[in-house]
Amino acid sequence: MKEVVFSGVAPSGNIHIGNYLGAIEQWVELQSSNKYQNIFCIVDEHAITVPQNPEKLREKIREVTLLYLALGIDPKKSTIFIQSHVSEHAELAWLLNTVTPLGDLQRMTQFKDKAKKQKSILAGLFNYPVLMAADILLYQTSVVPVGEDQVQHVELTREIAKKFNNLYGEVFRIPNVALKKETKRIMGLDDPTKKMSKSAENPANYIALLDAPDVIRKKIKSAVTDSGTEIKYDLENKPAISNLLTIYGGFAKKPINEIEKIYQGKGYAEFKKDLAEIIVTELAPLQVKYKGLEKNPRKVKKILKDGAKAAKKIASQTLKAAKNAMGL
Ligand code: TYM
């Protein structure tokens, strides 16, 4: 049997170039290696760990599904499904909650960051990493391709799996994280000290995959830069230009030192103008495919139905083994 790749995006906010360069691009690469069984989930039950408007959430779930497909996740090679369509996720999360120390969840930096922004902190937000562990462990996953901000959650997943296996016998495979070295952390265009975030209040923080060309040009033009004039990768002294170089390299598929050479003696304005055009050009085919898929809701519904069926087949076996091991 092939080893399993599993990952997901939460359908909240606007999916941006950080999500693509950090995570989804890896999925497409892993898929085309033909080495793995690929499972990609739209993790809607994660989205509801902060308050959501039901109508908007429904729309976002649809948007993320279409983006997966438009970005090249191929239902013939990968299983694509919606988390809430496979009830085993919520059920295994409950079982895993009973082996997860409270202190481990209190350490999660993403929880601490997100909690700061909430008026009332929901128990679901606190337990979110346990649901993520369930997502991964249900499929006996080997490889979890994500951005750097999810590493701590995958590490916790490993700990939860080991603890469960120690207590109840070998039920879960221990997964490994996969990161894309260059683009694992894309920073905000408005503040290069914070990661690009789909829940950012200021849309100038990110470039959404569905942003129109003129919006992309405007956002890149107004992106924060550093003092000086040189186009040079220097995280400490030039965090903003370094981030733009990373994005440039990610889309143009060029090493950073080559890009630095191209812009030797040239200014920020010229660099930014070219960068905007590269992003516009690279996102254009995806946006065309997205529009095409929008016209074919029946096809998409069928993909999700088949995906949920295939996912459930695996998930139900693992859940059964976990319950059995626990004496339930
Ligand atoms: P989410 O929806 O916040 O982000 C989706 C993916 O994008 C990556 N990412 C980034 N990569 C580089 N630079 C950035 N600025 C950036 N922002 C986000 C994330 O690391 C992620 O890979 N909890 C997860 C979803 C999830 C999941 C899972 C992932 C739920 N269950 C099981 C893997 C396996 C999340 O909220 O990602």
Pocket lining: 7 vs ligand 1, CB cutoff 6 Å: yes
Residues 166, 309, single domain; the answer is: yes
Assigned domain for 195 exists:
no
CATH of the domain at 243: 1.10.240.10
Candidate from 29, 135, 150 with most ligand 1 atoms within 8 A of CB, to mutate: 150
The per-residue pLDDT for range 226-246, each reduced to its tens digit, is: 999 999 999 999 999 999 999
pLDDT of residue 102: 97
- Ligand 1 centroid, distance to 263 Cα (angstroms): 32
Tokens 């995906």 belong to 307
pLDDT of residue 118: 87
pLDDT, mean of residues 143-171: 98
Residues 161, 274, single domain; the answer is: no
H or E segment to which residue 60 belongs: helix 54-70
User: Whole-model pTM?
Assistant: 0.97
Residues 217, 316, single domain; the answer is: no
**151-168 helix and 297-326 helix, angle to the nearest 10 degrees:** 40
β-strand pairing of 3-9 with 141-145: parallel
Judge residue 215's burial from the number of C-beta atoms within 10 Å of its C-beta, 0-12 exposed, 13-18 middle, 19 or more buried. Answer: middle
Assigned domain for 75 exists:
yes
Dig out the tokens for 106 from the structure.
């209190």
Residue nearest atom 34 in ligand 1 by C-alpha distance: 7
- Ligand 1 centroid, distance to 22 Cα (angstroms): 8
pLDDT, mean of residues 98-120: 94
The per-residue pLDDT for range 51-78, each reduced to its tens digit, is: 999 999 999 999 999 999 999 999 999 9
Residues 105, 61, single domain; the answer is: yes
DSSP 150: G
Residues 313, 241, single domain; the answer is: no
Dig out the tokens for 286 from the structure.
């995806």
Question: Where does the pLDDT of residue 112 fall: very low under 50, low under 70, confident under 90, or very high at 90 and above?
Answer: very high
The per-residue pLDDT for range 88-97, each reduced to its tens digit, is: 999 999 999 9
Residues 174, 247, single domain; the answer is: no
Q: Is the pLDDT of residue 206 over 90?
A: yes
Work out how many domains the chain is built from and give that number.
2
Q: What strands, in cross-sheet order, belong to the sheet with 176-178?
A: 78-82, 36-42, 3-9, 141-145, 176-178
Residues 272, 301, single domain; the answer is: no
Question: Where does the pLDDT of residue 135 fall: very low under 50, low under 70, confident under 90, or very high at 90 and above?
Answer: very high
Residues 175, 246, single domain; the answer is: no
Mean per-residue pLDDT over the chain, rounded: 97
Assigned domain for 187 exists:
no
pLDDT, mean of residues 44-54: 96
Report the half-sphere exposure of 188 (CA within 13 A, side-chain side): 14
Assigned domain for 191 exists:
no
Distance CA 19, CA 146 (A): 9
Collapsed DSSP state (helix, strand, coil) of residue 245? helix
- Ligand 1 centroid, distance to 147 Cα (angstroms): 6
Q: Is the pLDDT of residue 307 over 90?
A: yes
Residues 144, 61, single domain; the answer is: yes
Assigned domain for 25 exists:
yes
pLDDT, mean of residues 31-60: 97
Pocket lining: 9 vs ligand 1, CB cutoff 6 Å: yes
Give catalytic status of residue 114 as yes or no: yes
CATH of the domain at 93: 3.40.50.620
Give catalytic status of residue 218 as yes or no: no
Question: Where does the pLDDT of residue 123 fall: very low under 50, low under 70, confident under 90, or very high at 90 and above?
Answer: very high
Give catalytic status of residue 112 as yes or no: no
Collapsed DSSP state (helix, strand, coil) of residue 198? coil
Distance CA 282, CA 301 (A): 27
Residues 27, 76, single domain; the answer is: yes
pLDDT of residue 1: 86
pLDDT of residue 83: 98
Dig out the tokens for 158 from the structure.
């490993």
Pocket lining: 130 vs ligand 1, CB cutoff 6 Å: no
Range of the domain at 54: 3-179+297-326
pLDDT of residue 162: 98
Which percentage of the chain shows pLDDT scores above 70?
A: 100
H or E segment to which residue 141 belongs: strand 141-145
Q: Which atom of ligand 1 is nearest to the CA of 12?
A: 2
Residues 280, 256, single domain; the answer is: yes
Report the half-sphere exposure of 122 (CA within 13 A, side-chain side): 10
pLDDT of residue 310: 98
> Please, which residues bridge with residue 145 across strands?
178
Assigned domain for 240 exists:
yes
DSSP 162: H
Q: Is the pLDDT of residue 272 over 90?
A: yes
Give yes or no for a contact between 60 and 82, defined as CB atoms under 8 angstroms apart: no
Contacting residues for 204 by C-beta, under 8 A, at least 6 apart: 189, 190, 219, 222, 223
Pocket lining: 219 vs ligand 1, CB cutoff 6 Å: no
